[in-house]
């Protein structure tokens, strides 16, 4: 592509992007189509001759856009939000234009040094202890894997990296029954075997029972297992349940267990001093992960991973082939040694743009507003005769179900609520997801997109009430 053509096309795209941001709410939140509808419009083989950009862009508009789910829609209330604020998008434009591979200091000193500084800013903004050092990972799933591998190597004096597992190593990993599925996946990948992941029971708030954790560790120790690591959660995916971090930290110290904290979503709320009770005891943990790419208005991917002992991390992952040696190695961070992939995107740039554009205050205002949305919804559900709240609402996620008069059969309630969810989602006006809590089918409603207003939440809730009335 000639620069002249690029310039024209890019100007056109920027206008498209700004229009999209203004009008996201006018789309159906999710496309109403069948599997295969998009694929069937795409030729089965690649073109031999190059095609004009105008043609590509036409096809983008006519084929791709109708198949998109609009995560930035103000009435996207599903999963957890994923940020894409203006400043973050602008940074991604620059980063992709620079096309730099930021694997070591020399491959872009600015990227490395900005990342160092951004991780310090973020650590301090979230009130994490100054003994933590941060690095950006692609996702929380990777960060948790990195943590498990570091725990493994640290414990085995780096011998499993060298020789592989031997028969005497019977490690146990502990997490709550409400932990994210990435913990299961990471335990498998790290070679521990899923049978060695012990799921600890939760209390009535869906938080880990720390006394049960202690009992499980005691029991395993007696059976000859090595209790290696506890993964605790600040803000579970199902219901934003908050594990008792201080109590867990104490147990980890006592039994010399590694402690990793998964605060992927809710960690952003630590921007608010009034929410710091959630992380009490986190200063004793070995590692901590939070995803700015969820609630901090930063495009996917950007997962901030903080560790106490950066040398253990580096020793677990370092490689030094001749072609990657540089004279500055002893003076700088070479982030290729801080995680799994060698190549790294320039991700600190978007964090810099986002933090400076909003300021700490601007970010705090948004998060506070979103928590108010959650509390508003909680009141609505709590005061309604026909709906039932199924979990506490510490932040902005509510888990509820429709419970019409006289219906108590669990199966029937599940059927009614799954029907309600499908009807709502098929309207294209709103998008929600479901979970199971204590065996009960629950609808999740989380409002945390940048462009969501209280009015959107109110409209969304009215639609839920209206649709429920039509169901039974
Ligand atoms: C979203 C989420 C994850 C997974 O995050 P990725 O960055 O997509 O891997 C892990 N844990 C919790 C608690 C989450 O909410």
Q: What is the pLDDT of residues 33-55, one digit of tens each?
A: 999 999 999 999 999 999 999 99
114 pLDDT above the threshold of 90: yes
> Ligand 1: which of 82, 138, 140 to mutate, most ligand atoms within 8 Å of CB?
140
Topology of domain 1-30+69-99+360-472 in CATH is: 3.90.1150
Segment 291-307 mean pLDDT: 98
385 pLDDT above the threshold of 90: yes
Please give all residues whose beta carbon lies within 6 A of any atom in ligand 1, as ranges: 80, 139-141, 180, 182, 233, 235-237, 262, 264-265, 291, 303
CA of 113 relative to ligand 1 center, distance in Å: 26
CA of 294 relative to ligand 1 center, distance in Å: 9
CA of 81 relative to ligand 1 center, distance in Å: 11
Instruction: Label residue 109 by pLDDT band (50, 70, 90).
Output: very high
Angle at 436 between CA 432 and CA 439, to 5 degrees: 150
Each domain of the chain, given as residue ranges in start order, spans: 1-30+69-99+360-472, 100-345
The tally of CA atoms less than 13 A away on the side-chain side of residue 361 is: 0
Tokens of 101: 């591979």
Give me the residue label for tokens 């006394």: 211
In this prediction, residue 330 carries a pLDDT of 83
Give the whole-angstrom CA distance, residue 300 versus residue 293: 5
CATH among 3.20.20.70, 3.40.640.10, 2.40.110.10, 3.40.47.10 for 100-345: 3.40.640.10
115 pLDDT above the threshold of 90: yes
Segment 115-143 mean pLDDT: 98
CA of 257 relative to ligand 1 center, distance in Å: 22
Residue nearest to atom 15 of ligand 1 (CA): 237
CA of 99 relative to ligand 1 center, distance in Å: 27
Residue nearest to atom 14 of ligand 1 (CA): 264
Q: What is the pLDDT of residues 412-443, one digit of tens each?
A: 999 999 999 999 999 999 999 999 999 999 99
Higher-confidence position of 230 and 448: 230
- Ligand 1 atom at minimal distance to the Cα of residue 180: 11
Cβ atoms within 10 A of the Cβ of 323, count? 5
Instruction: Label residue 15 by pLDDT band (50, 70, 90).
Output: very high
In this prediction, residue 363 carries a pLDDT of 98
Q: CA dihedral defined by 383, 413, 454, 447, rounded to 10 degrees?
A: 130
Show Cβ contacts of residue 230 under 8 Å, excluding neighbours closer than 6 positions.
Answer: 173, 174, 175, 213, 248, 251, 252, 257, 258, 259, 260
Integer angstrom CA distances of residue 352 from 14, 27, 298: 21, 31, 10
CA of 263 relative to ligand 1 center, distance in Å: 8
Segment 305-332 mean pLDDT: 89
Label residue 256 exposed, middle or buried (CB < 10 Å: 0-12, 13-18, 19+). exposed
In this prediction, residue 344 carries a pLDDT of 96
Segment 387-401 mean pLDDT: 98
In this prediction, residue 149 carries a pLDDT of 98
Integer angstrom CA distances of residue 380 from 240, 431, 461: 19, 19, 9
Show Cβ contacts of residue 123 under 8 Å, excluding neighbours closer than 6 positions.
Answer: 130, 132, 134, 306
- Ligand 1 atom at minimal distance to the Cα of residue 263: 13
- Ligand 1 atom at minimal distance to the Cα of residue 291: 7
In this prediction, residue 158 carries a pLDDT of 94
471 pLDDT above the threshold of 90: no
In this prediction, residue 324 carries a pLDDT of 79
Q: What is the pLDDT of residues 163-218, one digit of tens each?
A: 999 888 899 999 999 999 999 999 999 999 999 999 999 999 999 999 999 999 99
In this prediction, residue 120 carries a pLDDT of 98
- Ligand 1 atom at minimal distance to the Cα of residue 233: 13
Segment 335-362 mean pLDDT: 97
CA of 253 relative to ligand 1 center, distance in Å: 26
């Amino acid at each position: 592509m000639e620069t002249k053509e690029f310039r024209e096309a890019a100007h056109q795209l920027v206008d498209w992007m700004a229009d999209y941001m203004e009008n996201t709410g006018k789309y159906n939140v999710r496309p109403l189509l069948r599997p295969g509808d998009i694929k069937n419009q795409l030729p089965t083989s690649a073109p031999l001759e190059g095609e004009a950009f105008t043609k590509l862009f036409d096809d983008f508009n006519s084929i791709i856009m109708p198949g998109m789910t609009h995560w930035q829609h103000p009435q996207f209330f599903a999963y957890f939000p994923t940020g894409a604020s203006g400043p973050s998008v602008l940074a991604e434009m620059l980063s992709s234009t620079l096309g730099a591979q930021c694997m070591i200091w020399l491959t872009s000193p600015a990227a490395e040094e900005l990342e160092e500084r951004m991780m310090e800013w973020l650590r301090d903004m979230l009130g994490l202890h100054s003994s933590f050092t941060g690095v950006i990972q692609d996702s929380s799933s990777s960060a948790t894997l990195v943590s498990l591998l570091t725990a493994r190597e640290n414990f085995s004096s780096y011998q499993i990296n060298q020789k592989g597992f031997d028969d005497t190593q019977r490690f146990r990993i502990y997490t709550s029954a409400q932990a994210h599925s990435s913990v299961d996946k990471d335990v498998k990948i790290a070679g521990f075997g899923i049978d060695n992941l012990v799921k600890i029971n939760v209390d009535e708030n869906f938080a880990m029972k720390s006394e049960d954790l202690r009992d499980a560790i005691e029991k395993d120790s007696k059976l000859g297992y090595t209790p290696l690591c506890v993964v605790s959660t600040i803000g579970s995916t199902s219901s934003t349940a908050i594990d008792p971090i201080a109590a867990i930290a104490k147990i980890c110290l006592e039994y010399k267990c590694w402690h990793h904290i998964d605060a992927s979503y809710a960690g952003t709320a630590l921007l608010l001093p009034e929410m710091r009770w959630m992380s009490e005891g986190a200063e004793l943990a070995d590692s901590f992960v939070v995803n700015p790419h969820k609630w901090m208005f930063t495009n996917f991917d950007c997962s901030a991973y903080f560790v106490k002992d950066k040398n253990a991390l580096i020793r677990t992952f370092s490689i030094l082939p001749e072609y990657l040696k540089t004279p500055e190695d002893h003076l700088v961070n070479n982030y290729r040694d801080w995680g799994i992939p060698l190549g790294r995107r320039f991700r600190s740039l978007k964090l810099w743009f986002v933090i400076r554009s909003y300021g700490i205050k601007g970010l705090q205002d948004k998060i506070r507003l979103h928590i108010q949305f959650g509390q508003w919804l909680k009141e609505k559900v709590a005061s309604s005769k026909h709906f039932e709240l199924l979990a506490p609402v510490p932040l902005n996620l509510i888990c509820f179900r429709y419970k019409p008069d006289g219906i108590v059969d669990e199966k029937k309630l599940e059927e009614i609520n799954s029907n309600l969810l499908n009807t709502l989602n098929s309207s294209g006006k709103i998008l929600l997801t479901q979970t199971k809590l204590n065996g009960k089918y629950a609808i999740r409603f989380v409002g945390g997109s940048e462009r969501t207003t209280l009015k959107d939440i109110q409209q969304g809730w009215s639609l839920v009430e209206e649709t429920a009335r039509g169901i039974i």
